[in-house]
Structure 1
Amino acid sequence: MHVLQNTKLKIAVKSIGAELCEIASVKHKTAFMWDANPEVWSSYAPNLFPIIGALKNNTYLFEDKTYRLPKHGFVRHNKKIKLKEQTENSLTFSLIYNSESLKNYPFKFEFTLTYLLIDNKLSLIHQITNRDDKTMYFSLGGHPAFKCPVFKNEKYDDYFLEFEYPENSKNHLINTESGLISSHTAPFFNASNTVDLTHDLFQNDALIFKDLKSKKVRLKSIKSGEILSLSYHDFPYLGIWAKPEGDFVCIEPWLGIADYENTNQDFKSKEGILTLPVKETFKACYTIEVHNNHLV
């Protein structure tokens, strides 16, 4: 476990998977992250690379060869990711390709994730470096789970998400049996910018949006006001998810998306896949900001 702390916030990151597992107020000890109750969902904030969501049959094709990857890729639960550097306000972790990774992902890469804590803001800075002699293909994303309710006098239904702008995006539906994206969509926003949180909202898995105008979403309570916000300017897709019985909500910025049911499984043509030229580095960041009202 690795810890960063300033006068306002304390964060903790697990060694396995470099997974953020705590954001808490220094003064009040208030916890803002889900507690990973194993009876409901045993994760806090998995890091997603080199895919988002599920692949059809857990496999993909690259240059006429078949490879296997688990849902959300191989960074989460990974014991080989190492702490590369620690400063007064940052932790940097690194995962480098090896002979095992090349069997399932045929690219020589370095995955680097920096947690930067400044005042009441935590930035997650991702860097992907292509160490190969060919173009690299990948997706990248976050999966942080925030506690709802945060305070004892509240219930889950007191919480809602507020987006920067009125939205008209559709929800891209998931086939709950396969975990793949179906060809169907459902109306969701109607020139509105709020999503009321209820446990039955996630009966059919995650809400998936491709074309939101907003690049910031706030988690709010009708009793406690704004709790925190997540800014995701570098990420074109957004997922919102929780276990129906879980007192949390995941706000998931993605560069990529799960396979569609009708996919041909070709990795190069997969929707949302990113390309990275030889020896170049890609960078993407999202930021969690805890409202000062709950810290002072």
Structure 2
Amino acid sequence: MTTLENDFLRVTTRPQGAELTSILHKPTGIEHLWQADPAVWGWHAPNLFPIVGGLLNNELLIEGHAYPMERHGFARKLAFDLLDSTPTTAVWGLTSGKQTEPHFPYGFTFQISYELIDEQLVVTYKVFNQDTKTIYFSVGAHPAFAVPFNAGEAYEDYYIDFNEPEQLETHMLSKDGFFTGETRPVPLDGYKLHLTEHLFDQDALVFKQLNSRSVAIRSTKHSHSVDVEFPDFTYLGIWAKPGAPFVCIEPWLGCADSEGEPKPIQQKEAIQHVDVGGEFSASFTITFS
């Protein structure tokens, strides 16, 4: 485990997946990260790479070959190296090799950095192309925030607050986790999406055309909030296991396959790429106030 700390936050991460395991807000004493109860959902905040979501046949098509790839990619299960750290920063890295080549035949380094700035946690993903050709990938975040924040409160006291006017439509997923091509409206109360026990009965809410690039988890009972700002990300997933005391706010660059025929990686929806010798970077910020 690696611990970052300042006057406001104490954050821990672990080598497996370079995953956040705790975000403690010191002024209130609130642990904001879901503590990964394996009987409910055994993750805290998995980092998704080199794909987001599921693949048809659990295969990634690259240059005419099919490579086995599980949902959300392999990064969340592999051990990262701690490349650099200070009391308020940590940089983790995963470099291609024997563990990755059977699934993703590119030369790369995937870095995840965490930085505390007052009451903010800044998370940055970087992908370095160490191959002799363009590489293609998706990347995303999946942090689960504990809700309610305090004992004696109810899940239904909380809501997601969008920072821009929205007419929300979620893209529907099949029982196997693939987009069906259908959408359905998601009603808002002004800017508010109220959390309820059954909000996620049909899987994640997936928004592909948001105006907002910031959403906050707020309560009707107090003013303490968690704001996730994601200016570099085009898609947003919001999910919880039905009835579980958490909600995931998931900025994505990439998404699951749609039903039908598999597509080569460079034709996948929202796919990212880095040219030879190039570098990709995208950040999101979590603010506790």
TM class by shorter chain equals: over 0.9
Q: Give how far 1:35 is off.
A: 1.2
Q: Give how far 1:191 is off.
A: 8.7
The amino acid across from 1:116 in the alignment is E
Q: Give how far 1:257 is off.
A: 0.6
The amino acid across from 1:102 in the alignment is E
Task: State the percentage of identical aligned residues.
Answer: 38
The amino acid across from 2:185 in the alignment is P
**What does residue 285 of structure 1 align with?**
283
Superposed structure 1 runs of 4+ greater than 4 Å apart: none
> How many residues were matched structurally?
289
- Does residue 86 in structure 1 map to residue 88 in structure 2? no
Q: Distance in 2 between matches of 1:262 and 1:192?
A: 36
Q: Give how far 1:189 is off.
A: 4.3
Q: Distance in 2 between matches of 1:219 and 1:191?
A: 14
User: 1 or 2, which has the higher helix percentage?
Assistant: 1
**What does residue 134 of structure 1 align with?**
133
Q: Give how far 1:33 is off.
A: 1.0
**What does residue 30 of structure 1 align with?**
30
- Does residue 48 in structure 1 map to residue 79 in structure 2? no
Q: Equivalent residue of 2:266, what SS?
A: helix
Q: Equivalent residue of 1:10, what SS?
A: strand
Q: Equivalent residue of 2:164, what SS?
A: strand
Q: Give how far 1:264 is off.
A: 2.7
Cα RMSD after superposing both structures: 1.2
Q: Equivalent residue of 2:70, what SS?
A: coil
**What does residue 4 of structure 2 align with?**
4
Tell me, yes or no, if the aligned pair for 2:169 and 2:207 is still in contact at 8 Å.
Answer: yes
Q: After superposition, what is the alpha-carbon deviation per residue over 1:194-233, rounded to whole angstroms, capped at 9, x for unaligned? A: 1100120011110000010000001001002242100000
Q: Equivalent residue of 2:124, what SS?
A: strand
Q: Distance in 2 between matches of 1:33 and 1:106?
A: 34
Tell me, yes or no, if the aligned pair for 1:168 and 1:191 is still in contact at 8 Å.
Answer: no
Tell me, yes or no, if the aligned pair for 1:56 and 1:265 is still in contact at 8 Å.
Answer: no
**What does residue 294 of structure 1 align with?**
none
Q: Distance in 2 between matches of 1:60 and 1:114?
A: 27
Tell me, yes or no, if the aligned pair for 1:169 and 1:210 is still in contact at 8 Å.
Answer: no
Q: How does 1:87-166 map to 2 (within 5 A)?
A: 87-166=86-165
Question: Structure 2: where are the runs of 5+ without partners?
Answer: none
**What does residue 253 of structure 1 align with?**
251
Q: Distance in 1 between matches of 2:10 and 2:100?
A: 33
TM-score, normalised with respect to structure 2: 0.97
Q: Give how far 1:152 is off.
A: 1.1
The amino acid across from 2:239 in the alignment is W
Q: Equivalent residue of 2:198, what SS?
A: helix
- More displaced stretch, 207-216 vs 70-79: 70-79
Question: Structure 1: where are the runs of 5+ without partners?
Answer: 292-296
**What does residue 233 of structure 2 align with?**
235
Q: Distance in 2 between matches of 1:85 and 1:112?
A: 11
